[in-house]
Amino acid sequence: MTWTQQQLSADHPPVKSGKVGVLVVNLGTPEAPETGAVRRYLGEFLSDKRVIEIPAAVWQPILRGIILNTRPAKSAAAYKEVWTDKGSPLAAITADQAVGLQERLGDSVTVEWAMRYGKPSIPEALESLMDGGCERVLLAPLYPQYCAATTATVVDKAADWLRKRRWQASLRTLPPYHDDPAYIDALAKDLGSQLDALDFVPEVLLLSFHGMPQRTLDLGDPYHCHCRKTARLLEEALGRPDLRMVTTFQSRFGRAKWLEPATDTTLEEEAAMGTKRLAIAAPGFSADCLETLEELAIRGKEQFLEAGGEKFATLSCLNTSAPGMAMLETIIRRELGGWI
């Protein structure tokens, strides 16, 4: 090597490259169960045009003038009921899923996690992966059923980050896995063992998916179809003919017509019809969160019992269960094919 080559080598900034990264992403959470933190979180979440498809000129005055002045306190009180020593359940579980994936995938891959709304953000996590030498990154939104308001907005955020980069990472996106045999098998094994462990035999298993406005279905979003297919395949895989399974949609917001039947209405109707023993599961959520731990396990139980039900159980999401982690490893290894 000549002196000139040695000098150029010495002056060259250090560059890390050649590694593969995986970024698992979930919806998001406030940083604390407090009004201010919830207001910041809701402000970001409800300003996403994929989430609220109302022209900004109409929506933002409503959001800033009414919703962010009334809803945060109520939501903060709900978060306080489920907050843990590790913080937000959703963030803590997603972080543990990332750790578990890192252990399963080994040193050939670097695994990070992020929240679409809140922290750690997608751009922060992607920067961390590239700083660590990851030129190829699998973006893994942990939404089994595709929806523009969930999966697509994760891709949007990653694309915004790519748009500003001089050196762009090569990006792949984990496809929806609503009908993947590995996912259905994991759900059947995990929910089956939880049902067997109950101290009562449910008459009904309610499968509650997050709701979306009806117009999303009318406009061609496949989410409703994905949820229905998951429910059908799961019922077949569970193989429990004595257990009646009902699919519903939760978390209605605003005055627009939402996907039906609604979870809260169905709970009351089931009790009124004479159902005494009911279990509820949320297969569309990859990790327990406010919507499962507060909306279903606390409020849903209250609704069912007050309407005349006698026994109620909320089954956990896949979280970091053995079936859940094996499923994540399977589908992520598949999408990393050719990279590792």
Residue 13 lies in a domain: no
Confidence at residue 76, expressed as pLDDT on a 0 to 100 scale: 98
Whether residues 137 and 233 share a domain: the answer is no
Residue 4 lies in a domain: no
Whether residues 195 and 142 share a domain: the answer is no
Whether residues 204 and 107 share a domain: the answer is no
Residue 219 lies in a domain: yes
Q: In the structure, what pLDDT confidence band is assigned to residue 13 with cuts at 50, 70 and 90?
A: confident
Neighbouring C-beta atoms of residue 126, cutoff 10 Å: 24
Whether residues 330 and 299 share a domain: the answer is no
Confidence at residue 5, expressed as pLDDT on a 0 to 100 scale: 55
Confidence at residue 280, expressed as pLDDT on a 0 to 100 scale: 98
Mean pLDDT of the chain: 95
Residue 11 lies in a domain: no
Whether residues 83 and 193 share a domain: the answer is no
Whether residues 172 and 185 share a domain: the answer is no
Total domains in the chain come to 2
Confidence at residue 14, expressed as pLDDT on a 0 to 100 scale: 76
Whether residues 161 and 199 share a domain: the answer is no
% helix / strand / coil in the chain, to the nearest 5? Answer: 50, 20, 30
Whether residues 102 and 162 share a domain: the answer is yes
Confidence at residue 1, expressed as pLDDT on a 0 to 100 scale: 53
| CA 197 to the chain's CA centroid | 26
* Residue 293, token pair as written in the block: 């731990």
121: CB partners within 8 A, 6+ apart: 114, 115, 157
Residue 220's domain is classified under what CATH number?
Answer: 3.40.50.1400
pTM score, whole prediction: 0.94
Q: Note whether 223 and 214 are within 8 A (CB).
A: no
Q: How far apart are CA 182 and CA 340, in angstroms?
A: 20
Confidence at residue 94, expressed as pLDDT on a 0 to 100 scale: 98
Residue 12 lies in a domain: no
Q: How far apart are CA 253 and CA 214, in angstroms?
A: 12
Residue 1 lies in a domain: no
Integer CA distances (angstroms), 131 to 18, 37, 125, 200, 235, in order: 11, 29, 10, 52, 45
Whether residues 26 and 167 share a domain: the answer is yes
Residue 10 lies in a domain: no
In 3D space, the residue among 55, 115, 50, 59 whose CA is nearest the CA of residue 89 turns out to be: 115
Q: What angle do CA 194, 269, 192 make, to 5 degrees?
A: 15
Whether residues 306 and 207 share a domain: the answer is yes
Q: In the structure, what pLDDT confidence band is assigned to residue 254 with cuts at 50, 70 and 90?
A: confident
Domain with 91, as residue range(s), is 19-176+323-335
pLDDT in tens, 328-339: 999 999 999 999
Q: How far apart are CA 175 and CA 180, in angstroms?
A: 10
Upstream peptide bond of 261 is cis (omega within 30 degrees of 0): yes
Whether residues 142 and 36 share a domain: the answer is yes
Q: Note whether 112 and 125 are within 8 A (CB).
A: yes
Whether residues 221 and 305 share a domain: the answer is yes
Q: Note whether 114 and 147 are within 8 A (CB).
A: no
pLDDT in tens, 132-168: 999 999 999 999 999 999 999 999 999 999 999 999 9
Residue 287 lies in a domain: yes
β-strands 311-314, 204-210 pairing: unpaired
Q: Note whether 284 and 147 are within 8 A (CB).
A: no
